[in-house]
Chains A and B, each alone.
Chain A
């Protein structure tokens, strides 16, 4: 029953990144946000909100997309992807919560939204969704823990709860992925009109579904290389069949929205915003959607992986655009994160990777570990 951990060079590097992050953590809490970061009154939100929170939540979207695919739409052949996706989701949301502990000015009051309610606030909804969904993800992952420790009774109870938990998880994700877009509905005068739209929540949700699928592919490919398991390329090729549809839908509503608001001319005005917007659409939507439309490309591990990686990069760029680049004109100045901000972000990602490695090596996450139970 003992736990194992293998030391490799890449794991040593991850640990070193975390060690540097520990120094940055000390600076953050001992000196305050002003001295340890490049955040300012012009940029109250920086890298931690843009990447750790907005991207962290989006990239954790694999959990609910996989659960919906398998449990709600009953596509059983994808069963093998659920556990890794739920685990990534859980680690992702856990890191979002930890990231918030860094970013909040008074993190010891992070629990205040539980008793102090402001139901008009999108941030209030985000807080509640993170809390609830983190709990749901943990419960969704519980069968893995119970199997590991052979807790048959607990396993039966949790299996009975599977479907309600999945439905709750999907609703919470829908609310919460979209509400990260809704956060910016209140800044019509500040956010550059290429991104400001009453449909921000719809865009955030749609791109989250796309990136959820893309992350499953990226992660499965990387983990099968790392753990030298067989590649699941044919299965993943089937899964990515859905991606072009979602991406084209996303593209159409984005352009239709620009047209409806009369902002199409901004697309090619040569400003840094237009370049960043076009980059986001090209990298994250147009190119990967084109590649994945071809069946023979979709079935090749390299193209499959690269196009999904592009979707991931596109969504990351989109969140950074909305949170930072689109806000820079109204802020009147630029913002480059301090080394401490980068360091803590990198450390959190490294911690996530390490946690994923350790859990998959010690718990029955992948099916070839011998998955006896139904979930």
Chain B
């Protein structure tokens, strides 16, 4: 009785652990596949030569994020997280119209996320730079830090939040493409893995060297962005900021921030030794009193 019960228990234990092991391998393999799908950094390729300015993406963004009044906006605001601007540029001798999409570029190393004192903004492994509204204290350093001037503020509210394109991170989690990409009738906005989009962008430039300017905007800006742009007129003429260093912007502040422990230790030693040196010749009694403190 005792033995069989023990045997039974052993059997059950063995079976359970087998199941658990197998299950975990299976779950892991499945999750592994899934993580692989999700964590391969996503990006978007915006081929401005293919944009017809229909603003379907803008309308889709409004609907997806329950925004109001920004469907035809020309400038980004807390009500318009993406806009399609009409820009008149000179191409050769003629004036042409180009449609420029503007929204968060989802930097690979975002300045906003490194600037935020409470980690309300962070870059997810899948690509989107997302915002935990409940953490935000409203210091607006992210707005100052962003080289593209993307985050906008709900100035009219008494408990305002920072707003920007979130790369439809909730849709991405469900394996869907962002609302704007889904709404684009000409594939001017293309969703995919960033590395594959990069290959595609290079292919387009190489196949049509006379059509495109030989530059992928977002490849190197601020250390690179998840969103990449192709154009047939110089990006500067379209209003893209062209003075952004290729070094990731957080590196500039980290250069100093990383020295803080050294400054504290070095400062403490320097000040204490200065104090001891300058007080070397003090009377014995005084030394005792202050020695207690030091």
Contact = CB atoms under 8 A, between A and B. Distances in A.
Given A186-B253, A189-B244, A124 B263 contact: no
A186 B155 contact: no
Contacts of A186: 111, 114-115, 144-145, 249-250, 252-253
B275 A72 contact: yes
Interface string A172-191: 00110011001101111110
Interface stretch (A113-121, A145-153, A230-238): A113-121
B138 A189 contact: no
Contacts of A198: 252, 255
A278 B159 CA distance: 40
Interface in B160-183: 160-161
Nearest to B142: A44
Interface in A148-178: 159-164, 167, 170-171, 174-175, 178
Contacts of A162: 290, 293
Contact of A189 (B117, B143, B153, B241): B241
Interface in A41-58: 41-42, 44-45
Contact of B271 (A107, A124, A167): A167
Nearest to B162: A105
A44 to B, nearest CB: 4
A105 B289 CA distance: 48
B137 A121 contact: no
B292 to A, nearest CB: 5
A22 interface: no
Interface in B223-269: 241, 243-245, 249-250, 252-257, 260, 263-264, 267-268
- Secondary structure class of chain A's binding surface, majority of residues: helix
A104 B292 contact: no
B135 A116 contact: yes
A182 B152 contact: no
Interface residues of A, number: 64
B85 to A, nearest CB: 14
B154, B244, B263, B293: which has the most chain A beta carbons within 10 Å? B293
Given A73-B278, A118-B119, A171 B271 contact: yes
Given A41-B153, A73-B274, A174-B263, A120 B158 contact: no
A2 interface: no
Contacts of A341: none
A39 B117 CA distance: 21
A68, A103, A120: which has the most chain B beta carbons within 10 Å? A120
Contact of A160 (B77, B160, B260, B293): B293
Given A45-B140, A116-B120, 4 more contacts: A41-B143, A109-B138, A186-B145, A374-B289
Q: Please list the 5 inter-chain residue pairs (A to B) with the smallest Cβ-Cβ separation, ordered nearest first.
A: A105-B138, A34-B155, A74-B278, A124-B117, A44-B140
